[in-house]
Amino acid sequence: MTIGLLGKKIGMTQIFDPQGKAVPVTILELGPCTITDIKNKKSHGYEAIQIGYLKVQANKLSKAQIGHFNKWQISPLKYLQEYKINSLQNFKIGQNITINDLSISQTISISGISIGRGFTGYQKRHHFSRGPMSHGSKNHRQPGSIGAGTTPGRVFAGKRMAGRMGGKKVTIKNIHILDINTDNNTIVIKGSIPGKPGNIVSIYQK
């Protein structure tokens, strides 16, 4: 991993390319993040860095979290994320990571929590077709048969049915960076990403 950052989604807009075509873009505010822990193969069996984002009052955290930050004399941070890396040479605890390490036209992967849709039916959740709407049909939005009869006498796990939709972690890979503003710690990326404006997102590149 070259760089990993935490931030939040600002919102979406559009820009025009040199040919005059409108391109949908998303604006993200990333970092600055602080390295709060370094894990090596000797102590943990793998190499990774833990970064923190968004300063917060100490009374908003647990005693274990406060002790972790006091150990390295780091200001309390609300969000923590771990990124596996190949080499620990260029990292040290307390070091700040910013968008200065990113460049335009690079591709990154972004993870976030998708918008929750609540409890939804099978048509909205799985894009099933509806039943006939006339001639006495009583199967308009019903799922139909869900089992195979006496044998096996049960519904198989994973059956596509009504249930909670959204609110899950989603990762979008190979998103292009179109612009970087180091003064405001913001970047402009092509297309959309999961979640509502204000949601916390995690980016990384390989």
- pLDDT tens digits along 75-132: 999 999 999 888 888 889 999 999 988 889 889 999 999 999 999 999 999 999 999 9
**Spatial CA neighbour of 30 closest among 54, 55, 56, 1:** 54
Is residue 61 predicted with pLDDT exceeding 80? yes
* Helix (H/G/I), strand (E/B), else coil: 100: helix
Is residue 169 predicted with pLDDT exceeding 70? yes
Is residue 21 predicted with pLDDT exceeding 80? yes
**Confidence class for position 7, pLDDT limits 50, 70, 90:** very high
What is the percent of the chain where pLDDT is above 90? 72
Distance, in Å, from the CA atom of 101 to the CA atom of 4, rounded to the nearest integer, reads 10
Distance, in Å, from the CA atom of 35 to the CA atom of 126, rounded to the nearest integer, reads 41
- Tokens representing 113 are 């929590």
> Are 193 and 9 within 8 A, CB to CB?
yes
- 183-199 average pLDDT score: 94
Distance, in Å, from the CA atom of 193 to the CA atom of 111, rounded to the nearest integer, reads 8
**Confidence class for position 161, pLDDT limits 50, 70, 90:** very high
- Tokens representing 148 are 């195979």
In the chain, what are the domain boundaries? 3-120+169-205, 121-142+155-165
CATH 2.40.30.10 for the 3-120+169-205 domain, yes or no: yes
> Are 39 and 46 within 8 A, CB to CB?
yes
> Are 154 and 147 within 8 A, CB to CB?
yes
pLDDT of residue 2: 65
- What's this model's pTM, rounded to 2 decimal places? 0.83
- 47-61 average pLDDT score: 92
> What's the DSSP call for residue 155?
P
Distance, in Å, from the CA atom of 74 to the CA atom of 97, rounded to the nearest integer, reads 14
Is residue 24 predicted with pLDDT exceeding 80? yes
> Are 112 and 164 within 8 A, CB to CB?
no
Distance, in Å, from the CA atom of 26 to the CA atom of 190, rounded to the nearest integer, reads 6
> What's the DSSP call for residue 117?
-
Distance, in Å, from the CA atom of 69 to the CA atom of 37, rounded to the nearest integer, reads 9
Is residue 55 predicted with pLDDT exceeding 90? yes
pLDDT of residue 203: 93
What is the percent of the chain where pLDDT is above 70? 99
Query: Cβ-count burial of 193 within 10 angstroms (0-12 exposed, 13-18 middle, 19+ buried)?
Result: buried
Read off the amino acid at residue 162.
A
Q: What are phi and psi for residue 134, nearest 5 degrees?
A: -145, -175
**Confidence class for position 30, pLDDT limits 50, 70, 90:** very high
More confident residue, 1 or 185: 185
pLDDT averaged over every residue in the chain: 91
